[in-house]
Structures are given as structure tokens and as C-alpha cells.
Amino acid sequence: MIAICYDFPRDTGKIRDCEAYTRENGQVFRRRVNVIRSVIDNGGVYTITIDASDIPMDARTEAFPGVAPNLETGFELPPSSIIHDPVMANEILAKIDTWGQIQVLVYKRGGKIFYKKLPDGRYEATIERAKDTE
């Protein structure tokens, strides 16, 4: 299970800091937080393994036509387009869990998250965002 505690400044939509207690070594955890922050802010790719309970996944969702045939090869569950409204995005960020916050920020910055179900029932989540070009 992931347990990432971000402090999201409402004015910038960027991750500012994180303090959390997890089963992981603190140094490893901070490194993962920094990598996710970097992908959101600068672009790149990062893959993390998460529990099914951390994403909106249940048997009904797994049966969706766009998900079922790609469950073990990769599928996307993009959030509603309402996240692109700044007022609504701030309200959403204030009310949802950490993984939901990550999803909103990734998609607001033009990125995507692809999921793949693993044999143990957990999911591999790959965060992708094109690198910024000048």
C-alpha cells in the first residue's frame, strides 16, 4: 500500500513537501516521492506497485470494455475533464486521497497513468509525462 502525504499548495498545483510513515525505509520513500514530483513537474516515466484499494478498481471496473481485455497488458483510467477547471481542481485536491491527488496533478500537466494488474492482485502504475521542451 502506498502512503504518500503531500502538501499541495493550492495556488501552484505543485507538490511542496511530504512527511509520512510507511513500511518502507524513510530514505527510499523520500526518493520515490522526489521521483514522482520530478515526473509531474518536469516529465519522464516512473512505475510504482500499488494495492487495488489505492485506485478506483473493483470487479465491476475490471469488467469495463476498455479495461477487461487489457487488464494484464495495460489500460488507462483518466479522471474527469473537470480537473482542468482551476477552481474545481483545487476543491478536488482538497477532498481526495493521495493517489487521487497524484492522478489529478499528472493529468493536469498533460501526463497519463497506465495500470497493469499483477498476478498477486496489486497493480503496476506507470506515470508518464512528456518532458518539457523549450
Q: Note the pLDDT tens digit of each residue in 83-109.
A: 889 888 888 888 887 778 888 889 999
pLDDT in tens, 23-43: 444 555 566 777 888 888 888
Using CA atoms, how far apart are residues 48 and 58, in angstroms rounded to an integer?
A: 19
pTM of this prediction exceeds 0.85: no
Is the confidence at residue 22, as pLDDT, over 50? no
Q: How far apart are the first and last CA of the chain?
A: 37
CA atoms of 117 and 51, how far apart (whole Å): 10
How far apart (Å, rounded) are the C-alpha atoms in residues 4 and 127?
15
Distance of CA 91 to the CA centre of its chain: 17
